[in-house]
Every structure is written in structure tokens, then in C-alpha cells.
Amino acid sequence: MFKTLIIGVFLGIVGAGATVYLAPAVDLHRERSLIDVQPNGGNLEVFRINLPRDRLLVGLSGSVGSIPAGLEWPGEELLGDMQAELFKVRNRNNAVVGVASRLASSTEETGPFIEWALHLPARGTIYAQMELSPSVEGYRDGKLRAGTRDFQELTGSVREQFIAGEAGNEESQGQIELQTILVAPLGDIDEETDGDML
């Protein structure tokens, strides 16, 4: 009887250990990355934000239109005219793949700025700084300033464009489209493979 108990204790320790070790504590959902390879130009990916549905926050001092209702945004004496926005971000197939923040200020004393942080949970984060003036065509270009995890070694550009929705349709005010074109650094040439090819 005692031997059976000891065997049970052993099995319990091994079983619990194996369960904790082997069962994934976190298993993030992944949407398929929809990437176009650009000739001589890296990988292009398009993200979309449907307005107003995907907007989580609009914070602007002195504005009556802050979102969500009940938000107590700091006054101008702290943040000046800085506008902070938070969005859900979708891929080209309209599936939510992340969240993003956009900070912009035109009167910041150290210099105006517009920047994005796109947080894609299963992949990493893109931190981009945009040009202040939009192009004649209505888009604004920017540069990848830093990336984390999957985006860590990449360089490239980001383009932001607002696409207006149907006039008078409150449910579809438009879309913000973010295009990223990201390039991986050149790796070392594998001499063996190179030799085989020759």
C-alpha cells in the first residue's frame, strides 16, 4: 500500500511538471500576414483603421469631443495642443491585428511632431515618425524609427492616408490607411551555398 502511495506521489509530481512544462501558458492568436514583396523595395503591408468604429481614444485639451465619454483629459497647461489617439488596427482583410497610438503636436516648443506606435501583439511594435506636411495627393510619409521583435532589424517607411467615407454617413466617416514598406538588413553571404550556385 505504501509503495502504491509513493508511486502515486511520483506520478503526480511528474504529471504536474510535464503539464506545466508542456502546456503553453500563452498561445496568441495570429492572423496571416498579408505582405506584398516590392521589386527592389522590401515588403509592403497595408493596415486600416475604420472610423469611427476602431477609435478607442481621442484626447485633446480644451476639446469637447474627447472619446470615450467620461474621459478626463489633462488641461492645456500640461499637454498644450498635443492630440493623442488610440485605435484598433486591421489588416487588408479587415481583421483586427493590433492597436496603435498616434501622438501629434504642432506647437510643441522642441518642435512639432506626428508619430505612430503600432503594437501588433503576435509580431512586435513599429514606431514611426511622420512628416509634418502631407503631400499634394493627401498622404503623409514617415520613417520607421524603431521596431521590436519581428520588426527589430528592419528599416523602411510608413505612409499615412485618410480616405473619406460616404458624406453624411456617421457610421462610416472614413478610413486611415497605413502602408509600411520594410526592408531587412542584408545577411552574410553563405559561402558554401554561394559556391554551389557557381
Partner 1 sequence: MKFLLTLLIGVAIGAFLFLAGLYYNPFVAQASVSPIAVTDARVMDLSFSAVPGDGLLYTNNGESTVQPFPERVGELWEASIADSEVWVTELQNSRGVPVGLGIKFSTRSEQTELIRGAAMTNSIWHVYLPGRGTFVIDQTENFWSYIRDVVIPARWSSGDNWRGTYNRITTAGPGSLGTGRLTGGSGEFTDLTGEAVETLTARAYSVQTGPVSMTGNLTMALPVQAASQ
Residues in contact with 12: Cβ distance below 8 Å, sequence separation at least 6, in sequence order:
none
Q: How far is the CB of 197 from partner 1 (least distance, A)?
A: 35
Q: Between residues 124 and 174, which has the closer beta carbon with respect to partner 1? A: 124
Distance (Å, whole) CA 139 – CA 142: 10
Residues that bind partner 1 (CB under 8 A): 1, 4-17, 20-21, 24-31, 55-57, 59, 68-74, 78-80, 82, 84, 86, 88, 95-99, 101, 103, 105, 108-111, 113, 115, 117, 119-122, 124-125, 127, 129, 145-146, 148-149
Q: Between residues 65 and 195, which has the closer beta carbon with respect to partner 1? A: 65
Q: How far is the CB of 175 from partner 1 (least distance, A)?
A: 17
Distance (Å, whole) CA 177 – CA 97: 14
Q: Quote the strand ranges of the chain, DSSP E.
A: 35-38, 42-51, 55-60, 83-90, 96-105, 113-120, 124-130, 139-147, 155-164, 174-183
Q: Between residues 38 and 106, which has the closer beta carbon with respect to partner 1? A: 106
Q: Between residues 133 and 193, which has the closer beta carbon with respect to partner 1? A: 133
